[in-house]
Structure 1
Amino acid sequence: MAEISIFDGSGKVVLTDNSSRGQVGIQHLSSGVYFVSVKYQNGTTATSRFIKK
């Protein structure tokens, strides 16, 4: 993976990670709705919503 970004419900970037591990720590995020966007090395992007309790 090339880049992982997490956005809060208002669209603000709260986390960006460029590692190739494919994992990011979200323990520091407050409870709420977030979106994760993964931009792959081939240029495609996948976005998904998740809820942190």
Structure 2
Amino acid sequence: MTGLAGEVIYEAVKFIIMLLLLAGGVVIGGKLRTRSDAKKEAKNKEI
């Protein structure tokens, strides 16, 4: 029984870590896209 509980806890922790990594990737991607869009807009204003 202890082995099963340990495995369930391990999988739950692994799942939470994957969710956090996914959320972090989305946040970082959004910030990079915002910077990229700002650079493109600034470049278009120069022309």
TM-score (ref. length: structure 2):
0.15
Higher relative contact order (CA 8 A, sep 6+): 1
Bigger proportion of residues as helix: 2
TM-score (ref. length: structure 1):
0.15
